[in-house]
Amino acid sequence: MVQPVFDAAVLSGRTDIPSQFIWPEGESPTPDATEEMHVPLIDIGGMLSGDPRAAAEVTRLVGEACERHGFFQVVNHGIDAQLLADAHRCVDAFFTMPLPEKQRALRRPGESCGYASSFTGRFASKLPWKETLSFRSCPSDPALVVDYIVATLGEDHRRLGEVYARYCSEMSRLSLEIMEVLGESLGVGRAHYRRFFEGNESIMRLNYYPPCQRPLETLGTGPHCDPTSLTILHQDDVGGLQVHTDGRWRSIRPRADAFVVNIGDTFMALSNGRYKSCLHRAVVNSRVPRKSLAFFLCPEMDKVVAPPGTLVDAANPRAYPDFTWRSLLDFTQKHYRADMKTLEVFSSWVVQQQPASART
Ligand SMILES: C=C1C[C@]23C[C@H]1CC[C@H]2[C@]1(C)CCC[C@@](C)(C(=O)O)[C@H]1[C@@H]3C(=O)O
Ligand SMILES: O=C(O)CCC(=O)C(=O)O
Ligand SMILES: [Fe+2]
């Protein structure tokens, strides 16, 4: 079958959508209004200011949310409002360029970075109604983001590269602060996960969801659990993020002053299954484009992902085998489309790869 081209300017001229974008009944969004999910709001600035009562309350709220569904929001995070506004403005600037310009950064098969207009060359069905631009970011290599943007899009886009370099560096800082809270709430101390992620090799993703003439037949991002460790998301004021809890989809209402944070599969493994990586998706609408900025915190590629010994005992045996982020990333890019079962399927695959004598 000929793959459709996902060019919003072309697709907006039709009344229907190509069949590859149609999601089966049961997976497509429901027409009735979706209930709102009440996600705890964490005052991270207050927590770090040294008031022990405020810190204990934040730790308790985070622990409770992570054991239930893995979603919470942070406010008072110290991210400059101007930087956030610039980051959203640059999303508009990039995605409103003509398709051939964006394709200068084309994401190639098997790679996790670059520009993808939907995933037309990658998947044959259940295509997402979105465009994305993803790039790597590491605190140990501050020039990485600007170099990538300039090398793919050209000198004219240096300013965009600088905005995202600053944004990623702030996201890495915020992630490490959140890691302190997660460590504290799991009883392993503030330093444990902060140290583990100090040299993170993360992925920044800009999501752009053009308006869709048939929003109830498709999805912007299909149901999935993030394979990464921690996601810090900022959505614009349009709304569309939904989380599956207690058997139904609920939406997270956008808040300009808050980041939505969620636990990913790799952190679920690092907590020996205590903290949950939860199913979520993004719906689209027929009126306006929607944007979101997703920072996916990931460990160094070859670092062994294993929970601290204090989270493993006879009552809580190892839930997942040792693995590296490189192998899980590779698995999602080459063998398996990330969904709600990624960690389970990947773990079985890892165990199968081991010699029989090493399996427990
Ligand atoms: C490592 C990654 C793979 C995906 C991007 C990051 C973290 C989330 C993954 C993803 C969003 C999960 C849903 C399916 C996916 C294909 C998507 O719709 O974007 C996933 C990403 C990807 O493989 O590109
Ligand atoms: O755009 C959103 O609100 C969610 C996107 C998402 O879940 C992802 O990129 O992993
Ligand atoms: Fe996600």
Q: What is the Cα–Cα distance from 248 to 69, expressed in whole angstroms?
A: 12
Does this model's pTM top 0.90? My answer is yes
Q: With contact defined as beta carbons under 8 Å apart, do 124 and 113 qualify?
A: no
Which of the ligands is closest to the CA of residue 333? 1
| pLDDT score recorded for residue 11 | 83
Domain parsing of the chain, residue ranges: 21-353
Nearest to 204 by CA among 243, 232, 241: 232
Q: What is the Cα–Cα distance from 86 to 339, expressed in whole angstroms?
A: 31
Tokens at 302, concatenated: 């070859």
Tokens at 269, concatenated: 């493994």
| pLDDT score recorded for residue 19 | 93
| pLDDT score recorded for residue 359 | 65
Residue-wise pLDDT tens digits, 305-356: 999 999 999 999 999 999 999 999 999 999 899 888 999 999 999 999 988 7
Q: With contact defined as beta carbons under 8 Å apart, do 128 and 221 qualify?
A: yes
Q: Is 21-353 a CATH 2.60.120.330 domain?
A: yes
Q: What is the Cα–Cα distance from 14 to 16, expressed in whole angstroms?
A: 6
Q: What is the Cα–Cα distance from 209 to 95, expressed in whole angstroms?
A: 10
Distance 49 CA to ligand 2 centre (A): 31
> Closest Cα to atom 7, ligand 2: which residue?
281
Q: Is 227 in the pocket of ligand 1 (CB under 6 A)?
A: yes
Give average pLDDT by consecutive 10-residue segment, the chain, 360 residues: 75 88 92 88 83 90 98 97 98 96 93 90 91 97 98 98 98 98 97 98 98 96 97 98 95 97 98 98 96 98 98 98 98 91 96 80
Kindly name the residue from 107, 158, 290, 359 that is annotated as catalytic.
290
Query: What crossing angle do the helices spanning 158-185 and 52-68 adopt, rounded to 10°?
Result: 100
> Closest Cα to atom 1, ligand 2: which residue?
292
Q: What is the Cα–Cα distance from 280 to 250, expressed in whole angstroms?
A: 9
194 is catalytic: no
Residue-wise pLDDT tens digits, 207-239: 999 999 999 999 999 999 999 999 999 999 999
